[in-house]
Amino acid sequence: MTKLALLGGNPVRSKLFPAHNFIGMEEKQKVMEILNSGVLSRFLGVWHDDFYGGDEILAFEREWADNYQAKYGVSVNSCTSGLYAAVGAAAVGPGDEVIVSPYTMVASVTAAIAFNAVPVFADIDPKNFCLNPKSIKERITERTKAIIVVHLFGHPADMDEIMAIADAHNITVIEDCAQAPNAKYKGRPVGTLGHMGVFSLNYHKHIHSGEGGIVLTNDERLADRLCLIRNHAEAVVNGREVDSLVNMVGFNFRLGEIEAGIGRMQLLKSHGLLDKRRRNLDYFNKNLPEIKGLSISKPMDYVEHSYYAAALNYNADQAGLSRKTFLQALHAELPETEMRKGHGPLISGGYVKPIYLYPMFQQQIAYGDKGCPFKCPHYKGEINYSVGICPETEKAHATIITHEYMQPSLEISDIDDVLMAFKKVANNMEALRQFEKNTS
Ligand SMILES: *Cc1c(COP(=O)(O)O)cnc(C)c1O
């Protein structure tokens, strides 16, 4: 039995894993074409044809909308700004509540705060790590104006149930699809199941343009409000008719022509890259050695997962070993990834801390230092951000392991190395228990 690297043996692999880099000739040619045109953005912040941007922006929006069978696509410069625009378009404001997930990247919560609304955290379903419809139902009040649903790790949330609840209460549903491009729920792509769907084209996502994002919707009025909020609404509402001035303060969330052009080329690759992610993860899951306490988190049978990350459930009591030591042992066996030095191996524990435990919520300080929006006089609800409000989220944070050993840059031989590291750890669990005892 070979000795674990953590205990002084040789690691399974030291050669870096190949970089997740899918910028090729198509993107380069596109960028040259745009540079040669001299038009790097055609947006104009006044009421004019150019209010909606240039050729690449319009083509990017059309192609993304078509890919998701959506009527409208509104490009933005990040998923974060897309979420802000979506909350604004939904006319959320002071005194309103927005139901959010505590298990997400922070922007899917701060989008509510940006419009002085109060985030109310519902709990996740541990089977898919997305908002649990039952918990949403419990947390709806007469103040609930919107729900921001996150398709976490690429697993679609239970949208039929969530939409039924939302429709019954006339609540706007925003899907945060940053981690779920091309994921499907009962055969339908995410992003069009709620009222608005927001995608990311950030460098760290499935496909990217450096920074970028897009909001999809089938609702003409929401599409119009999104376009206004994206581009200095207040400067143009005089030049045209708008039926509501609510949240027409406006921002500059405009995407550039170069990013839009890159985003078009990346979209063409997105399905092939996702196929490879699925092939890789299938192989990983089929060959993962048996380790007591470790199990694969299987997707619900009615979804097509897009695997931004894959989750493993880890029961430290059954394994007889802490998650920390288990991961430490794997980390010692595995190298980092090219172009991501200092990021560590592509496996870690817990994902993010439940968002309500962040200082902003614990101290209730966001805008200025007077407690807005939490203590806003327009707000008539009662805030509770205590430990324990979302027990399933807290449990998942304490027990799951996530990994990205399905990235499309990886070949089967790379995944074999990862599996070898798991095998080595599986064969040395007793030695690790001793190590843990001696070091604690
Ligand atoms: C990455 C991410 C975002 C933010 O995307 P940006 O384009 O970087 O603003 C929002 N929500 C989730 C779930 C994410 O993973």
Q: List the chain pLDDT tens, one digit each, 440 residues.
A: 599 999 999 999 999 999 999 999 999 999 999 999 999 999 999 999 999 999 999 999 999 999 999 999 999 999 999 999 999 999 999 999 999 999 999 999 999 999 999 999 999 999 999 999 999 999 999 999 999 999 999 999 999 999 999 999 999 999 999 999 999 999 999 999 999 999 999 999 999 999 999 999 999 999 999 999 999 998 888 888 888 999 999 999 999 999 999 999 999 999 999 999 999 999 999 999 999 999 999 999 999 999 999 999 999 999 999 999 999 999 999 999 999 999 999 999 999 999 999 999 999 999 899 999 999 999 999 999 999 999 999 999 999 999 999 999 999 999 999 999 999 999 999 999 999 999 97
Residue nearest (by alpha carbon) to ligand 1 atom 1: 178
Name 286's Cβ contacts closer than 8 Å, sequence gap at least 6: none
Q: How many CA atoms lie within 13 A of 367 on its CB side?
A: 15
SS3 content of the chain, % helix, strand, coil (to 5): 40, 15, 45
* DSSP 8-state class, residue 10: -
Cα separations (Å) of 238 from 85, 96, 227, 243, 251?
Answer: 20, 27, 15, 12, 16
DSSP character string of 252-301: B-PPPHHHHHHHHHHHHHHHHHHHHHHHHHHHHHHHPPP-TTEEE-PPPT
- Shortest-distance atom of ligand 1 to CA 213: 7
Centre of ligand 1 from the C-alpha of residue 203, in Å: 10
* DSSP 8-state class, residue 143: T
- Shortest-distance atom of ligand 1 to CA 151: 13
Q: What is the pLDDT of residue 241?
A: 83
The verdict on the CB of residue 79 being under 6 Å from ligand 1 is yes
> Is the separation of the CB atoms in 224 and 236 below 8 Å?
no
Residue 289 structure tokens: 């050695």
Pocket test for ligand 1, best of 79, 124, 207, 251 (most atoms within 8 A of CB): 79
- Shortest-distance atom of ligand 1 to CA 201: 7
Q: Are strands 196-200 and 213-217 parallel, antiparallel or unpaired?
A: antiparallel
Amino acid at the residue 92: V
CA distance 348 to 401: 6
CA distance 342 to 329: 18
Residue 358 structure tokens: 């962040």
Pocket test for ligand 1, best of 190, 196, 202 (most atoms within 8 A of CB): 202
Residues of the chain with CATH 3.90.1150.10: 5-15+269-351+395-439
Q: What is the pLDDT of residue 240?
A: 84
Q: How many CA atoms lie within 13 A of 334 on its CB side?
A: 32
Q: What is the pLDDT of residue 238?
A: 83
Cα angle at 176 between 174 and 177, to 5 degrees?
125
Centre of ligand 1 from the C-alpha of residue 200, in Å: 6
Residues of the chain with CATH 3.40.640.10: 25-267
The verdict on the CB of residue 172 being under 6 Å from ligand 1 is no
Pocket test for ligand 1, best of 124, 148, 179 (most atoms within 8 A of CB): 179
> Is the separation of the CB atoms in 103 and 356 below 8 Å?
no
Helix (H) or strand (E) holding 37: helix 25-37
The verdict on the CB of residue 209 being under 6 Å from ligand 1 is no
Q: What is the pLDDT of residue 1?
A: 59
Helix (H) or strand (E) holding 197: strand 196-200
CA distance 207 to 190: 16
If phi over 0 gives left and psi between -120 and 50 gives alpha, with beta otherwise, what is residue 124? beta
Q: What is the pLDDT of residue 440?
A: 78
- Shortest-distance atom of ligand 1 to CA 202: 7
Residue 253 structure tokens: 């969330």
CA distance 77 to 53: 13
Centre of ligand 1 from the C-alpha of residue 398, in Å: 22
Residue nearest (by alpha carbon) to ligand 1 atom 2: 178
Centre of ligand 1 from the C-alpha of residue 4, in Å: 36
Centre of ligand 1 from the C-alpha of residue 45, in Å: 26
Q: How many CA atoms lie within 13 A of 72 on its CB side?
A: 16
Q: What is the pLDDT of residue 239?
A: 81
The verdict on the CB of residue 267 being under 6 Å from ligand 1 is no
The verdict on the CB of residue 404 being under 6 Å from ligand 1 is no
The verdict on the CB of residue 393 being under 6 Å from ligand 1 is no
Residue nearest (by alpha carbon) to ligand 1 atom 5: 79
CA distance 30 to 265: 8
Burial-class residue 379 by CB neighbours within 10 Å (0-12, 13-18, 19+). buried
> Is the separation of the CB atoms in 371 and 365 below 8 Å?
yes
The verdict on the CB of residue 101 being under 6 Å from ligand 1 is no
The radius of gyration computed from the CA coordinates of the chain, to the nearest angstrom, equals 23
Q: What is the pTM for the complete model shown? A: 0.98
Q: Number of helices (H) and strands (E), helices first, in the chain?
A: 15, 14
* DSSP 8-state class, residue 351: -
CATH number of 5-15+269-351+395-439: 3.90.1150.10
Q: Are strands 72-76 and 213-217 parallel, antiparallel or unpaired?
A: antiparallel
The CATH architecture of the domain made up of 25-267 is 3-Layer(aba) Sandwich (3.40)
The verdict on the CB of residue 75 being under 6 Å from ligand 1 is no
Q: Please count the residues of the chain.
A: 440
